[in-house]
Amino acid sequence: MGSTVPDVLHPFDPLTLGEIEAAIAIVKKAHGNVFFNVVSLQEPRKAEMTAWLAAPETAPRPKRIADVVVIAPGGKVYDGLVDLAEGKITKWDLLDGEQPIITMEELQLVEHIVRKDPKVIEQCILSGVAPEDMHKVYCDPWTIGYDERYGSSVRLQQALMYYRPDVDNCQYQYPLDFCPIYDADKREIIAIDIPKVRRPLSKAPSQDYHPAAVEARGGYRTDLKAINITQPEGVSFTITGREIEWQNWKFHIGFNYREGIVLNNITFNDKGTIRPIFYRLSLAEMVVPYGNPERPHQRKHALDQGEYGAGYMTNSLSLGCDCKGSIHYLDAHFPSRSGELRTIKNAICIHEEDAGILFKHTDFRDESVIVTRGRKLIIQQIFTAANYEYVVAWVFHQDGTIAPEIKLTGILNTYAMNDDEDTHGWGTQVFPGVNAHNHQHLFCLRIDANVDGSDNTVFVSDAVPSAAPVGSEENYYGNGFYNRRTKLETTAQAKTDYDGTTTRTWEIANTNKLNPYSKKPVSYKLVSREVPGLLPKEGSLVWKRAPFARHAVHVTPYQDDQLYPAGKHVPQTSGDSPLGITTWIGDGTANIANTDLVFWHTFGVTHFPAPEDFPVMPAEGMMLLLRPRNFFAGNPVMDVPPSYCSVPSLVGGGKEGFKGVVDGVSRLAFGEVNGSCCKK
Amino acid sequence: MGSTVPDVLHPFDPLTLGEIEAAIAIVKKAHGNVFFNVVSLQEPRKAEMTAWLAAPETAPRPKRIADVVVIAPGGKVYDGLVDLAEGKITKWDLLDGEQPIITMEELQLVEHIVRKDPKVIEQCILSGVAPEDMHKVYCDPWTIGYDERYGSSVRLQQALMYYRPDVDNCQYQYPLDFCPIYDADKREIIAIDIPKVRRPLSKAPSQDYHPAAVEARGGYRTDLKAINITQPEGVSFTITGREIEWQNWKFHIGFNYREGIVLNNITFNDKGTIRPIFYRLSLAEMVVPYGNPERPHQRKHALDQGEYGAGYMTNSLSLGCDCKGSIHYLDAHFPSRSGELRTIKNAICIHEEDAGILFKHTDFRDESVIVTRGRKLIIQQIFTAANYEYVVAWVFHQDGTIAPEIKLTGILNTYAMNDDEDTHGWGTQVFPGVNAHNHQHLFCLRIDANVDGSDNTVFVSDAVPSAAPVGSEENYYGNGFYNRRTKLETTAQAKTDYDGTTTRTWEIANTNKLNPYSKKPVSYKLVSREVPGLLPKEGSLVWKRAPFARHAVHVTPYQDDQLYPAGKHVPQTSGDSPLGITTWIGDGTANIANTDLVFWHTFGVTHFPAPEDFPVMPAEGMMLLLRPRNFFAGNPVMDVPPSYCSVPSLVGGGKEGFKGVVDGVSRLAFGEVNGSCCKK
């Protein structure tokens, strides 16, 4: 298994450094010095791309187009396209009252300005910060979200304020109670939100997680012995450019500023037939609403991907720390604000893990047995959104299952509280003087479906009892139950919610192709159980701004560029007029049956903080499954070599079974006497 | 870290071979030759045991008592107790109309008798089996469940019939359509259930999963490279007898015929204070109802633990096959039916696994970072219930979380179908002529709670929006939401169900101890999302026989010997009178608040079979979490050595960070040039 770099770019490849540089030069030449907000691949038009994928030798190769967003002097925002082959700008639209994504560089500026602002200094002093200690004041700058007092024409941030007695202290232990508002064009503080009840700076001794603090508390535990994971024969995947092949899977691994990892053209080699499954998979948006209704906390509802970008915020990963074993990394390239280049090394980690038992069966008669171990492939990134970290893993299994998995770690967003203060149930005191507010993390999985072809249909699938009563002829003993499948015909019908009482799933099916045995349409089923629903109410600010989160599932007919369900430019939207997915749903009559469709699924967790989450949170995970159902004609992993298999004819003859992938390195923990590896 | 064997047995230890032998000898001496159904530890009375645990040096050590069940000539069933120190029988009760657990030996007998029965042979011939091929006819003998035509006084089994053209064929491809009924006392077939519509033996070519079949189809895949997992410094746990200590956890690992693994006296060392959490954890019962209401399929609803035993059916595990890495095994000992001894070697596997990122945080200002990897401890068994295998893992995390995890694999139970037959939605054709019926796998987790002491209280915990409307002063922006906690006071109130709309959890709290910061009671929260509910209707046969499955949660006051919620003797119960948990719930008025309580949780999956599950099922997993909430005063894993940590003062000074557990063996997949292990 190896890695090769082809001579020519794949149309799904992110822009290279050279392409970003070229796009910047073209824009600069035409429009002078501007701030570069986005320079990213405009993904090929699907019709063109599909034609090319079907016949790469003969069909025209889709053009390389850069999607460009800039902020010109005076805060003017332009949305443009650059044709890289032609070297020309093909679109250059001035936006009206829209704010593009906030870059890390913009965020970095705020703290410096906050520290020097006289009114902020005044508030700091009022809070108990010594005037000479302003360098110990920090802020997490967030987009303002939406504040009706200011609207969306001025680019604003809110500065969530903290203090560090020592530079190495975790600042979230020392929140300040006021909130400066920053104008990004003027680079100044234009207002400060000050609460009615004041909460002076906490004097509690710190409880940090860094080595010096742990040493002072008695040091690290010493009873954890190393686990080594090695692949002496190499890895089981092959990479060509950014296309990966592994265990019958093949797909392209893209990456952009917004969604981070994007997987395209996911296919499965079913005994020689390359079967398409998904045209594109990504996390398209997220929202983290906080549940404290007191002003100005309603503004805490980060749409992190649209407001800051899961690509822009992604971590440079470390071998052996973020991921163990035999790892392949891919880098990410972005423009800097001024038009330089920025590379995030090791933005994506690709590796395999043992997945435990893939299947096993023992015949109770003679103990003839088969046991086969599974393997999984993990495509992973980690991004830091101010206090939180999100570990996003796309996990592929040999049996055709894709399991997107998200782990939350990092630090709670915190607010100041007084000793005797009642949190009114909107938050929890996790440390003296620290109120961590209730919140949700809701993610929107975008599935551009391609199950055995582009014409797909979604069914809601419920497990329900027979309607016939106990004692009736049809259901005498009362045990009848079945799978009720409801076809979704229109975008209005497709607004569906999770139902725990029927352990609801959704099937993305191709009704034009039936399984040879079950005679049911080939399908992929979404199994998702962490579906809390949006707790902010209908008509609330969050409900308006994050329309994708109103239902667990939406389905829309495919259209190019309908990628971001809270709108392309998310900061400071009010949600008062339709945006993103609400515009694509339209009047609800559009057909979504047996057509090229996009399936949107919002899932996540509701988090009521507790002290064990502080000062840094042990990772909390959630996973969902995209499982083949009636897709294959049989178990697709029977040809994975078993660890051991004996059959009745051998057992009967007293013979040894088949040793497949014998694990010669597993050992007894304490060197006791035991049978040899695998079956006696 | 090591393993030592103390001189004296722990009161929770299962009976040793010597003790089983002694108990058998005592019974034989008193009652002659009987069939030994059960010879198992009667666990110590809790009051005695708690006193001893509190003062093992001074309090009396609980006696070793054997719980004995025998079948005497004439099918008479006796339930007895043997005091092993005194060498005497202290209880010997004749049961009336109760059938004890079916042993593997009893099951093994049926096939031989079925093959010779003239009426069965007649049916086989009618089905298309040649008279000389009766040795190719197989049966999976199940307890009859309950059949009102026969009641419970005669010990009966139903024989689910199959055919193997070749001895190595998977028989589930060739089901036969009739069902003989076997009398275990007479050792003869007393009736045959014959369906109205006949379904002759399938002639479809086989599709097996064994090596010869895979070779004939082109052979095993060759592109899977080994993953080696080693612990050169040894494991991180210590075993003393059957007590394990690992990462602040300490508990006793028991095992019995019925529940398999039993974990007792689970404590966590919280900075020097040994805090009890659970007195006992086990899977106490399960039920697998099939959803085809046509006779006699209503009898397919195995209560596998009560009817056959998760201990009796457990696999002997293989190093490197069932579990990889550095493994410690424990054996299990049982009586044979005639009073000999039977040992299942390697019945329990104990090992550690890397658990990915435990926590991580990067400061976006300077990229100072901490990344710490987690570890988990796994106590695992696998049992085979005829066609299915159940992989049961008790997973302990460093952060105080316990995550019981079950994987299903093995083979679908199948029934014959004709080519043009309509399954009426009760099943799926997974292979030509093979109808796999809808079914559920429902497990009952028994939690004998001991959260910081024995007096505990259960709260239902729901995530709900503020009642105040959008635009009101209390909830102007509509984002308010909170954690609604409802105290359960009585056994009647405690009958609660999962609510997906509030992502319901349950808290087992000690209201006598408050968290120092949050001021909330210390608690363990059950997070369980695979809660389909029992699909057989209220009043149905399954509903009557499996009362634990009527609700997701029940709570009862603790009483010795209230272990098995479908009754102690499960085969052939009708459920017409109260049994198991229904008797313990009683009239519903018993107090369960601030008292010693047992929490019962039923969870699982609903399975609508598909062809990819056949002929052997890729493992399907489910997991639930018992998480500390407001239990600790802060993150309990800050002293786990990080892989890497840099702090702002070091980053500012251009210095390297702290390298904790540096992984020196992780490598780049393709040997590309990259930074060294861990942070640059």
Task: Nearest chain A residue to B475 by CA: give it.
Answer: A293
Does B606 sit within 8 Å of A224, measured CB to CB?
no
Active-site entry in B79, B140, B177, B304: B304
Phi, psi dihedrals of residue B235, rounded to the nearest 5° = -90, 165
CA distance B650 to chain A (A): 9
C-beta separation of B157 from B302 below 8 A: no
Q: How far is B535 from chain A (nearest CA, A)?
A: 5
Question: Which of A107, A108, A634 faces B207 most closely, judged by CB atoms?
Answer: A634
Could you give the percent of chain B with pLDDT greater than 70?
99
pLDDT of B298 higher than 70? yes
Residue B656 above 90 pLDDT?
Answer: no
Mean pLDDT of the region A626-645: 97
Predicted local distance difference test score (pLDDT) of residue A673 = 60
Q: Residue A664: which pLDDT band, with cuts at 50, 70 and 90?
A: confident
Between CA A609 and CA B634 the distance in angstroms is 11
**Where residue A678 falls among pLDDT bands split at 50, 70, 90?**
low
Q: B143: which 2 tokens?
A: 């307890």
Of A475, A524, A525, A529, which Cα lies nearest the Cα of A502? A529
Our CA-based measurement puts residue B358 at a distance from the nearest CA of chain A, in whole angstroms, of: 5
CB A123 within 8 A of CB A354: no
Residue type, A594: N
Verify whether residue A220 is a known catalytic residue.
no
Taking phi over 0 as left and psi of -120 to 50 as alpha, with beta for the rest, A124 belongs to alpha
Model pLDDT for residues A66-112, shown as the tens digit of each residue: 999 999 999 999 999 999 999 999 999 999 999 999 999 999 999 99
Which residue is it, tokens 């988990």? B376
The pair of structure tokens assigned to B619 is 């493992």
Q: Are A283 and A446 in contact (CB under 8 A)?
A: yes
Cβ-based burial of B577 (10 A; exposed 0-12, middle 13-18, buried ≥19): exposed
Residues of chain A with CATH 2.70.98.20: 238-411+439-468+480-607+616-629
As given in the structure block, the two tokens for residue B393 are: 């893992």
Contact call for residues A303 and A286 (beta carbons, < 8 A): yes
Q: Which residue has the tokens 């298994």?
A: A1
Angstrom distances, CA of residue B278 to CA of B417, B485, B508, B520, B561: 48, 22, 10, 19, 17
Nearest Cα to B392, choosing from B230, B201, B619? B619
Neighboring chain A residues of B478 at a CB cutoff of 8 Å: 293, 536-543
- Amino acid at site A217: R
Report the C-alpha gap between B425 and B307 in whole angstroms: 28
For residue B537, give the nearest of A237, A358, A478 by CB distance. A478
Answer whether A429 sits within 8 Å of B517, measured CB to CB.
Answer: yes
Of B104, B391, B463, the CB nearest to A535: B463
Cβ <8 Å between A313 and B608: no
Over residues B37-62, the pLDDT tens digits come to 999 999 999 999 999 999 999 999 99
Query: Cβ contact (<8 Å) for A364 and B357?
Result: no
Tell me the average pLDDT across B573-596.
97
Q: Is the CB of residue B224 less than 8 Å from the CB of residue A354? A: no
- Mean of the pLDDT values across residues A138-145? 97
Residue B284 · residue B446 · CB < 8 Å? yes
Q: Find, in chain B, the residue whose alpha carbon is nearest to that of A502.
A: B532
Measured CA to CA, the distance from residue A203 to residue A319 in angstroms comes to: 39
Q: List chain B residues with CB under 8 Å of A538.
A: 470, 478
User: Per-residue pLDDT averaged across B506-527, rounded?
Assistant: 98
Is this prediction's ipTM beyond 0.85?
Answer: yes
The pLDDT of residue B674: 52
Q: Report chain B residues whose CB lies below 8 A from the CB of A552.
A: none
Catalytic residue of the set A146, A163, A279, A388: A388
In chain B, residues under CATH classification 2.70.98.20 are: 238-290+301-412+438-629
Interchain CB distance below 8 Å, A479 and B664: no
| Residue B256 tokens, joined | 């019995």
Closest C-alpha among A610, A605, A622 to residue A289:
A605
> How close, in Å, is residue A387 to chain B by CA atoms?
8
Class of domain A3-94: alpha beta
pLDDT per residue over A353-378, tens digit each? Answer: 999 999 999 999 999 999 999 999 99
CATH architecture of B238-290+301-412+438-629: Distorted Sandwich (2.70)
Of A288, A287, A259, A543, which is closest to residue A413 (Cα–Cα)? A288
**8 Å CB contact between A77 and A70:** yes
Of residues A38 and A671, the one with the higher pLDDT is: A38
CATH 3.10.450.40-classified regions of chain A: 3-94
Tokens of A662: 């014998």
Cis preceding-peptide flag for B628 (omega within 30 of 0): no
**pLDDT for B675 beyond 60:** no
Which of chain A's residues have a Cβ under 8 Å away from the Cβ of B364? 104, 107-108, 313, 384, 386
- Could you write out the DSSP letters of every residue in B376-434? EEEEEEEEEETTEEEEEEEEEETTS-EEEEEEEEE---EEE--TT---TTSEEEEETTE
- Which tens digits make up the pLDDT trace of A225-260? 999 999 999 999 999 999 999 999 999 999 999 999
**DSSP symbols for A507-566:** EEEEEEEE-TTT-SEEEEEEE--------SPTTSHHHHH-GGGGSSEEEEE--TT---TT
**A263-274: per-residue pLDDT in tens?**
999 999 999 999
Q: Closest to B647 (Cβ–Cβ): which among A210, A481, A644?
A: A210
Location of each CATH 3.10.450.40 domain in chain B? 3-94, 104-216
Q: Which fold has domain A238-411+439-468+480-607+616-629?
A: Beta-galactosidase; Chain A, domain 5 (2.70.98)
Angstroms from B26 CA to nearest CA on chain A:
31
Query: Is the pLDDT score of A674 beyond 70?
Result: no
Beta carbons of B319 and A542 less than 8 Å apart = no
Instruction: Report the residue of chain B nearest A637, measured CA to CA.
Output: B618
Asked whether the predicted pLDDT for residue B69 surpasses 60, the reply is yes
Do B405 and B393 contact (CB within 8 A), yes or no? Answer: yes
Catalytic one among B388, B415, B558, B644?
Answer: B388
Check A304, A448, A596, A613 and give the catalytic one: A304
Q: Which two tokens stand for residue A456?
A: 């797909």
What are the C-alpha distances in Å from B155 to residues B75, B95, B307, B313? 8, 13, 12, 20
- Percent of chain B exceeding pLDDT 90 equals 95
Amino acid at A372: T
pLDDT-derived band at B658 (thresholds 50, 70, 90) equals confident
Contact call for A319 and B295, based on CB within 8 A:
no
Residue in A closest to B272 by C-alpha: A218
Residue A59 and residue A48: Cα distance in Å, rounded?
8
Q: Distance between CA atoms of A583 and A225, rounded to whole angstroms?
A: 55
- Residue A631's pLDDT band (cuts 50, 70, 90): very high
Which residues of B are less than 8 Å from A287 in CB distance? none
Task: Give the pLDDT band (50/70/90) at residue A395.
Answer: very high
On chain B, the residues whose CB falls within 8 A of the CB of A219 are: 639
CATH number for the domain running over B104-216: 3.10.450.40
Contact across the interface for A675 and B345, Cβ inside 8 Å: yes
Residues of A in contact with B660 (CB under 8 A): 211, 220
Which of B224, B370, B639 is opposite residue A641, by nearest beta carbon?
B224
Q: Residue A564: how many CB atoms within 10 A of its CB?
A: 23
The position carrying tokens 């609460």 is: A195
8 Å CB contact between B561 and B166? no
- Is residue B28 classed as helix, strand or coil in its secondary structure? helix
CB within 8 Å: B236 and A225: yes
DSSP per residue, B465-477: E-SSPTTSGGGTT
A479 to B635: CB separation less than 8 angstroms, yes or no: no
Q: Which residues of B are less than 8 Å from A3 in CB distance?
A: 669-670, 672
pLDDT, one tens digit per residue, over B339-351 is 999 999 999 999 9
Verify whether residue B388 is a known catalytic residue. yes
Hey, what are A8's tokens?
A: 């020519």
Q: With bands split at pLDDT 50, 70 and 90, how would you rate the model's confidence at B659?
A: confident
DSSP string for A361-386: EE-TTT--EEEEEEEEEEEEEEEEET
Nearest CB among B361, B479, B616 relative to A301 is that of B479
**What pLDDT score does B680 carry?**
43
Give the Cβ contact number of residue B159 at 10 Å: 27
Among the partner-chain residues A297, A543, A670, the one whose CB lies closest to the CB of B3 is: A670
- Report chain B residues whose CB lies below 8 A from the CB of A521: none
